[in-house]
Every structure is written in C-alpha cells, then in structure tokens.
C-alpha cells in the first residue's frame, strides 16, 4: 500500500450570534461533509466572537497547524463585520479597498440602482495580495491568502464560495465509511468492537448510540482510506456480530 | 450603574463524527441558548477528534481561560470513548472505577438484567476527586472537577446532565436582547447602524442578513445586561430607521 497523502483543515466560525444562541450554526456540518467528500480531513472547528483579538489568535494558531484554514462569517457591510481586517492583521499584511472587488460591487450596485455607500463599499476591503473568491449570489467576494480561505457566514453564500474555491485546493485520499446499525445498546457490543479495533488498527472505528421513541440503537462506523481493508473489517465484524446473535 | 459580574464559559465538543460530517452536532446551539438564559457568557466553542493529545491540550487551554469549561461526548462504553481518561490526564490526576458510579451502574444493570461487562463498567471511570453529575436517562454519570464539567454527547443525556449541574454554577448578569426585523439589505442600514453603535458603545449591536424565497431581510440585534440602556438604544434606533423610511 503506497503512502496516502493527507490534507487537513480547520474551520473557524466567527460570530457572536452563534455563541449567544441567537442563531444555530448551519455551516459546520455542511463544511464537514464537503471536506470528507473531497478528501480533506477536518481536524478542528472553533467558534469565536466578533472580537479582533480572538479572531487574530485563532487564525494564527490554526493556519500554522493545518493545511488549510477556512473561516465563515463577519465579511458583510456592518460595523460588526471585522473578519477581513482581523485576518489581515493576523497575516501581517495591509488591507484596503480592492480594485477588483470595487469593480464587481460598483457594477452590481449600478444594475440594482443601489447607492455605493461607505458601508456597502466596506465589502471591498481585502487584504493586500489576496485572491478573490466568487460570490455567485450577492457579488461581495470572499478571499484567499496563502492557506487561509475567508468565506461568508450566510450559508447559501458560503456554499457557493466553497464551490468556487474547491477546485483550487490540494486534496488527499478520500475517507471511505461503512455503517452497521444495531437495535442494541453500545454496551452489548463494546467488548467485541474493541477487540475488532485491535485486529484492524488501520481502520478507525467509532460507536454512536441514539435514542428515539424510547428505543435505543447503535451505529458502528468504520472508516479507512483503503476500501479493501474497510470491506474486510466490515465483513469480519458483521460475521462476529451474527455469530454472537447481536446482528 | 454597579459593576456587573461576568461569568464566562467555553464548550469543547469531542467526536470524530462531528468533524467527518457523519453527525450534525445538536449540542452547541442548545448549550449556547442555555448559557445565555442562566447568565453565563459562552465565549468559545471547539470541536476536536477522539484523540488524546487534541483533547488534553484543548482542555488545558480552555479551562485556564474561562470560568467554566463544558465538554460533550466520549464518555460511553466503547473503546473510542476516551474523554474521562484524557480529562484526567489534562488535570494531572489519577482515574479509576469510582465506587459511587459503580454502585449506580450495578443497580441499573441488575434491574435491567444486563451483564456488568468490562466495557459497561468503563462508564464508571471517573478522575479521582471529581463529583458526579446525575444522568436521569441512562444512569452512567458525567462529572465535574474544579471548573471542568464533563457531559455526555447524546443530546437528550447531555441536557439532563446540564439541568443537574446548573444550580451549582456561579452565574452573572443575564444578557438581554432586542431584535429589529427589516425587509431590507444590510447595506441600506449599515451607516445608520454603525453611527448608532458609537452613540451606545455599551450596547453590543450586530446585524444578521438572511435570504429566503429569494427575498433578503436583516435582523438588527442589540444586547446589553442593562435593560434600561437596551430599551433606550432600541427605541432611538427605531425612531431613526422610521425617520429614514427604513422601518
């Protein structure tokens, strides 16, 4: 088996509204699924408030630790949108009204007969040296500087920006998954499952209980980038569960 | 105005399944709303995988930085449940089968005619010196050691544990919120809103756009622990928006 390439990422969600409970985040799960699908391993998520110090230190810790850092939130026109400036500060580069972003916004405003107010033009503030990420919905762009990728917080806009940037990303081996569903409590299969993990140390195994309608069930999830090993581990586990009348 | 007491918290969500996208987290939003309601400010959330090093360093960073650190996930019976051991390591204390937890589990197993397997009894592993948090659903307890509060990952169980521990927590001033809804884009109100924030620097103001059915709307959210200042800031903003035919 050749050494497989591993590409990692972190997601930084920026916004008081998530931490106060006013808004339920819809980006974490979407980004997690997207990363798994394209072959990037999401290794950490953080949620921080709209505060410069918190953003700057999270950006610097996470961009150093992972292949990519994605951020969501805080790039709109209002005074609480401080992500672009905070990211520029973290990167140690200047920031100003970007000519390319201004052209996009002016064209959009002209078509919609909107006034190019100073607040609206704040959305053209882009760190010097960054490339733009296309926003097919509301034009105001995201941006990428090195391994830092800055996306909108509104889920629909975040999603089109993610589609725009994904073809430019380095990706690694795609994690394959199998799931075995049991109408059993975790405790009934835990010893067999732990022994099975030792037999297949290269296949990551997790157990997820759930309750619904007063009934307990468990999903055993096996994950590997090697589909043959995954298939072998899954079949062997199913056989063992059947032999013990657990499946 | 007397100095109001501020109590802060972080939430550490532990679990590969959230990062891989297999499971959509349901605890972050619930904990965020709960903290706001009881007068604790949630200042940071992190999601890390079921890996000892990642858990240990996140626990140590976050417990030092905030009044409380809550964790969710990784306290079940299976081999991937390593939270209790990792937290003990972070705290620098020993861990073993806790007599109180064993008594609870043995009574529960006897009643349900379940065998007390080694895997099931893993759920009695509690760091030395921790107090137990009651689990009214499935008995296996959470625990508290100092300012670190370890809860289950299954939302229903996490919620009853949170109810059990909340009366023991120090709480501060409760953040009050008002919301003004506009059928307008953010950009139309951003200049007025930014000026208003400068007039009321003690009232935190945020703007949240959303799209639905192709229509754009914006919610202006004002937050303060002082209900009089909040009311004054909200009324003044509404007047100004009306005067500009924006509301």
Write a three-state SS string for A147-211. CEEEECCCHHHHHHHHHHHHHHCCCCCCCEEEEEEECCCHHHHHHHHHHHHHHCCCCEEEEEEEE
Counted residue by residue, chain A has a size of 247
A19:B137 CB<8 A: no
A47:B48 CB<8 A: no
Give the residue from B132, B44, B145, B9 showing the smallest Cα distance to B87. Answer: B145
What band does B4 get if pLDDT is binned at 50, 70 and 90?
A: confident
Average pLDDT over residues B9-37: 97
Show the beta-strand stretches assigned E in chain A: 8-14, 41-48, 68-72, 95-97, 125-127, 131-133, 142-145, 148-151, 176-182, 204-212, 215-224
| Position B157 pLDDT exceeds 80 | yes
Residue found by looking up tokens 């009044």 in the block: B67
B187:A118 CB<8 A: no
- Give A77's DSSP letter: S
Q: Which residue of B has its CA nearest to A38?
A: B20
Residue B10 tokens, joined: 């972080």
DSSP β-ladder status, B68-72 and B148-151: parallel
A36:B20 CB<8 A: yes
Residues of chain A contacting residue B221, judged by C-beta atoms under 8 Å apart: 17, 22
Whole-model pTM: value is 0.94
Residue B20 tokens, joined: 């891989």
- With a CB cutoff of 8 Å and minimum separation 6, the contacts of A4 are A172, A173, A225, A226
Residue A1: predicted pLDDT = 46
Residue found by looking up tokens 């969600």 in the block: A13
Residue B108: predicted pLDDT = 94
A21:B43 CB<8 A: no
Please state, in angstroms and rounded to a whole number, the distance separating the CA atoms of residues A97 and A119: 12
Of B22, B37, B42, the CB nearest to A221: B22
Of B34, B77, B185, the CB nearest to A187: B77
Q: Which helix (H) or strand (E) element contains residue B236? A: helix B227-243
Residues of chain A contacting residue B49, judged by C-beta atoms under 8 Å apart: 43
CB pairs under 8 A between A and B: 193
Q: Which residue of A has its CA nearest to B140?
A: A187
User: Phi, psi at residue B193, to the nearest 5°?
Assistant: -65, -40
A119:B208 CB<8 A: no
B32:A45 CB<8 A: no
Q: In what order do the strands lie in the sheet with A176-182?
A: A176-182, A215-224, A204-212
Residues 75-104 of A with CB under 8 A from B: 76-81
Residue A185: predicted pLDDT = 87
Q: Which helix (H) or strand (E) element contains residue B8? A: strand B8-14
Residues of chain A contacting residue B222, judged by C-beta atoms under 8 Å apart: none
Contact status, residue B102 vs residue B70, Cβ threshold 8 Å: no
| Burial environment of residue B106 by CB neighbours within 10 A (0 to 12, 13 to 18, 19 or more) | middle
User: Which tens digits make up the pLDDT trace of B39-60?
Assistant: 999 999 999 999 999 999 999 9
Residue B63: predicted pLDDT = 98
A23:B208 CB<8 A: yes
Residues of chain B contacting residue A28, judged by C-beta atoms under 8 Å apart: 18, 25, 28, 47
A223 close to B (CB below 8 A): yes
A48:B44 CB<8 A: yes
Secondary structure percentages of chain A, helix, strand, coil, to 5: 45, 25, 30
Residue A225 tokens, joined: 């980038």
B125 close to A (CB below 8 A): no
Residues of chain B contacting residue A49, judged by C-beta atoms under 8 Å apart: 43
Contact status, residue B11 vs residue B43, Cβ threshold 8 Å: no
Contact status, residue B9 vs residue B149, Cβ threshold 8 Å: no
DSSP β-ladder status, B68-72 and B8-14: parallel
Residues 55-74 of A with CB under 8 A from B: none
What band does B1 get if pLDDT is binned at 50, 70 and 90?
A: very low
Residue B35: predicted pLDDT = 98
Please state, in angstroms and rounded to a whole number, the distance separating the CA atoms of residues A198 and A142: 45
User: Phi, psi at residue B82, to the nearest 5°?
Assistant: -120, 10
Per-residue pLDDT tens listing for chain A (247 residues): 456 789 999 999 999 999 999 999 999 999 999 999 999 999 999 999 999 999 999 999 999 999 999 999 999 999 999 999 999 999 999 999 999 999 999 999 999 898 899 999 999 999 999 999 999 998 999 999 999 999 999 999 999 999 999 999 999 999 999 999 999 888 889 999 999 999 999 999 999 988 877 788 999 999 999 999 999 999 999 999 999 999 9
Residues of chain A contacting residue B17, judged by C-beta atoms under 8 Å apart: 206, 208, 221
Please state, in angstroms and rounded to a whole number, the distance separating the CA atoms of residues A223 and A166: 23
CB neighbours of residue A188 within 10 Å: 21
Q: Which residue of A has its CA nearest to B51?
A: A43
In percent, how much of chain B has pLDDT > 90? Answer: 89
């Amino acid at each position: 088996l050749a050494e497989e390439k591993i590409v990692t990422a972190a997601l930084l969600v920026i916004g008081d509204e998530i931490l106060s409970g006013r808004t339920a985040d819809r980006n974490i799960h979407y980004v997690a699924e997207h990363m798994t699908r394209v072959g990037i391993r999401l290794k950490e998520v953080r949620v921080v408030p709209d505060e410069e110090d918190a953003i700057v230190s999270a950006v610097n810790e996470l961009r150093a630790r992972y292949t990519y850092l994605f951020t969501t939130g805080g790039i709109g026109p209002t005074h609480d949108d401080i992500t672009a400036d905070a990211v520029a500060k973290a990167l140690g580069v200047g920031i100003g009204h970007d000519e390319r972003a201004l052209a996009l916004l002016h064209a959009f405003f002209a078509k919609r007969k909107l006034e190019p107010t100073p607040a609206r033009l704040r959305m053209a503030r882009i760190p010097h040296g960054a490339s733009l990420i296309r926003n097919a919905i509301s034009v105001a762009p995201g941006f990428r500087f090195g391994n830092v990728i800055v996306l909108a917080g509104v889920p629909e806009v975040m999603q089109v920006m993610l589609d725009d940037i994904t073809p430019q990303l380095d990706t690694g081996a795609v994690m394959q998954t199998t799931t075995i569903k049991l109408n059993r409590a975790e405790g009934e299969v835990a010893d067999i499952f732990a022994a099975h993990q030792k037999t297949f140390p290269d296949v990551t195994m997790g157990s997820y209980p759930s309750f619904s309608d007063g009934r307990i069930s468990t999903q055993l999830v096996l994950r590997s980038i090697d589909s043959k090993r995954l298939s072998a581990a899954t079949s062997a586990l199913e056989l063992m569960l059947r032999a013990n009348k657990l499946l």
